[in-house]
Structure 1
């Protein structure tokens, strides 16, 4: 790591104009895209934690989250917020749950792996509409990206960890959260848990809001610094030619698996920074003409799911105080990228993308304003959370019915 830092520092001294231009581009991405997209969600998540909403959702969602993901119900809130607001909000919320002992290390690691996803505004507005200019490709890219995350979350429930051996319920069950394991209905216990969490927090609303703003601003500065650093480091390495061998190797591997080798540039850039990789996938050409759309979307799906080392560094910073391990996270991110790329090829035959391709009236179009696209994250969060709550209540009712039948 020290040698890498010294190398990048030497390249910055040798090519200061490249470093400056890349840094300014990183600042622009942070200020115009990341800050307005992430800051409200950071503040909102802190407020919801203070008000005990996580305890409410955890009690309601416990019957669903444990059978599906082997994660306490509080993770359902993280899933909804993480999918709606994108990386690294899922890591931020998971670290808070781990600090409050609502999830243990193994559960937190699986939760971060599942919720480190792109937000709908970026996937729809920036990638599908902005970079590709194909809003009709949204369902393919979204299904592959979010579906791959859910699939890996379900498969991860079978991953063994010493912390959970013989103690799947551990100390983070809804009973431990509420303090009233068998008293009253689940809805009543959920509101009781929320009330107790709010009393335990004890901060007045003004103090809670002020501290939420302060912590969120500090976090946004860290996110911005990482984006600028990795943007500059990538440009310096590309201009120096040090990544040429890596790019050629990737090109050979892509050709071996049946994908165009020209996508290697998108892969290399996406390994460092997700925005640059997705843009390169949309612009990749072969002999002056664009490559097939399905191949470019598959590479974009991989880049979005891998998320880039910039996002990895953000997640590592947020999880640094929790005993979290980077190795399983990096492995799952790569598997998510492969699964998402494969998902694009599997879903592609279900859609037609000819010149006369039609899209639903509610799909975003190239002329949509940021205000129009801004409605997607809260709608998605509400939809995911409502679906999880409804499924949890249905699972609870089915379990009660089964017990009654067995008793009779």
Structure 2
């Protein structure tokens, strides 16, 4: 009997689902604890940090500001990355808010017809990045107690994204690009585009605002589900000792790269979930700080299967394919690691204090201090923001039900 590829996929998907279901029943305590950890991260950090950016981006698109920005950045984005000028808006918002905002906005531009599928595949490959708050606040300060390390990680991460974007410009056929807009910026032309875009949307402002909030929260609920799922999946793989088998393969790879094999467990965890993997790497005392930074840079750039699943779910609503994004993540991982290795001695300045109780705020200045303070503020008030937003969303949802039934 000849087995088709489609049948093999069916067997693989169903087998994986059965395995997970049986594992959840066999290890309910471990699954529950892992789900709580994933929920806590989403509740305290992810939701409150992404919600404002998602809502604002909806308004910027509907009011035509993205078209204005696109006309401004067209002479830059088109020659460098072979994407429309609106990609500059996606790049900036993705950097400021973190993943998967780049994928969310790229999908919106594709749905609006502002980019082609090929341009969307190029754009999503280098605009889905970690935000500075996470790099400086969670990883550099929270895990390594060293804000100076954030400069190295951020430079390698965003520099690697630029290199990926430049490499992806050679991806795809020129014939699949949309018609190029004006090659130079004209204020009158940009204002005209913005005005025409705003007039296309006939909805009242209140309706537009409500739709923006509903769309943003629905996306964030989906993101939370993926975070919890992959947190539980990673824990189950540890319990059934599959992680040990996978770690052995990574152990061999790290040995060839002349990196401490003790980092293999943290690297494997980071392939699933960035936060957990980075924390485990920071606790590996047998590795030098440079070696730890190289591996963490790879984890940040790879995004983890959890973020990649979120991106796959978001772009599935369009004709943008996931495979180019995945290959770009692998390339970004190796590029960011290499940049960390090259730039570490130039950018890293060892702090005057060391140890787990490093007074990071007193020894941190400038942009590092800004991101650290904001991250700590987010940890303190993030849960309140999430609870308030979800409560208002539920009230709004119940209010809209009678209107929807008419």
With the length of structure 1 as denominator, give the TM-score of the two structures.
Answer: 0.84
Quote the offset at 1:231 in angstroms: 0.3
Match of 2:181 among 167, 174, 183: 174
Q: In the alignment, does 2:277 pair up with 1:272?
A: no
For the 8 Å contact 2:55–2:216, the answer to whether it is kept is yes
2:85 aligns with 73
Pairing of 1:36-185 with structure 2 (within 5 A): 36-161=48-173, 164-165=174-175, 168=177, 170-171=178-179, 173-174=180-181
Pairing of 1:259-338 with structure 2 (within 5 A): 259-286=259-286, 291-338=287-334
Query: Take 1:193 and 1:367, find their aligned partners in 2: how far apart are those partners?
Result: 39
Query: Take 1:64 and 1:235, find their aligned partners in 2: how far apart are those partners?
Result: 45
Query: Take 2:73 and 2:246, find their aligned partners in 1: how far apart are those partners?
Result: 45
For the 8 Å contact 1:274–1:303, the answer to whether it is kept is yes
214 and 16 in structure 1: CA distance in 2 versus 1, 3 angstrom threshold: same
For the 8 Å contact 1:135–1:366, the answer to whether it is kept is no
For the 8 Å contact 2:315–2:322, the answer to whether it is kept is no
Quote the offset at 1:207 in angstroms: 1.2
Quote the offset at 1:348 in angstroms: 0.8
Query: Take 2:375 and 2:254, find their aligned partners in 1: how far apart are those partners?
Result: 35
Compare 46-55 and 349-358 and name the one that shifted more: 349-358
316 and 305 in structure 1: CA distance in 2 versus 1, 3 angstrom threshold: same
Quote the offset at 1:351 in angstroms: 3.4
Query: Take 1:355 and 1:36, find their aligned partners in 2: how far apart are those partners?
Result: 31
- Once the two structures are superposed, residues 107-126 of structure 1 have per-residue CA deviations (whole angstroms, 9 ceiling, x without a partner) of 10111110111011111111
- Once the two structures are superposed, residues 245-292 of structure 1 have per-residue CA deviations (whole angstroms, 9 ceiling, x without a partner) of 110110111011111111111111111111111111111233xxxx21
21 and 372 in structure 1: CA distance in 2 versus 1, 3 angstrom threshold: closer
103 and 365 in structure 1: CA distance in 2 versus 1, 3 angstrom threshold: closer
1:387 aligns with none
1:8 aligns with 20
User: Matched residue of 1:258: which SS?
Assistant: coil
Pairing of 1:366-381 with structure 2 (within 5 A): 368=373, 370=375
CA-atom RMSD, angstroms? 2.0
The runs of 5 or more residues in structure 2 that have no matched partner are 1-12, 354-362, 380-406
The runs of 5 or more residues in structure 1 that have no matched partner are 176-180, 375-408
Query: Take 2:53 and 2:284, find their aligned partners in 1: how far apart are those partners?
Result: 33
For the 8 Å contact 2:45–2:378, the answer to whether it is kept is no
Query: Take 2:30 and 2:364, find their aligned partners in 1: how far apart are those partners?
Result: 41
For the 8 Å contact 1:135–1:365, the answer to whether it is kept is no
Quote the offset at 1:373 in angstroms: 7.5
367 and 340 in structure 1: CA distance in 2 versus 1, 3 angstrom threshold: closer
1:397 aligns with none
350 and 359 in structure 1: CA distance in 2 versus 1, 3 angstrom threshold: farther
198 and 245 in structure 1: CA distance in 2 versus 1, 3 angstrom threshold: same
2:192 aligns with 192
- Once the two structures are superposed, residues 186-224 of structure 1 have per-residue CA deviations (whole angstroms, 9 ceiling, x without a partner) of 111101100100001122221111100111111111111
* Aligned positions, number: 358
2:336 aligns with 340
For the 8 Å contact 1:130–1:366, the answer to whether it is kept is no
Query: Take 1:205 and 1:254, find their aligned partners in 2: how far apart are those partners?
Result: 55
Q: In the alignment, does 2:224 pair up with 1:212?
A: no
271 and 371 in structure 1: CA distance in 2 versus 1, 3 angstrom threshold: closer
228 and 352 in structure 1: CA distance in 2 versus 1, 3 angstrom threshold: closer
With the length of structure 2 as denominator, give the TM-score of the two structures.
Answer: 0.84
User: Matched residue of 2:166: which SS?
Assistant: helix
For the 8 Å contact 2:271–2:277, the answer to whether it is kept is yes
User: Matched residue of 1:174: which SS?
Assistant: coil
For the 8 Å contact 2:134–2:375, the answer to whether it is kept is no
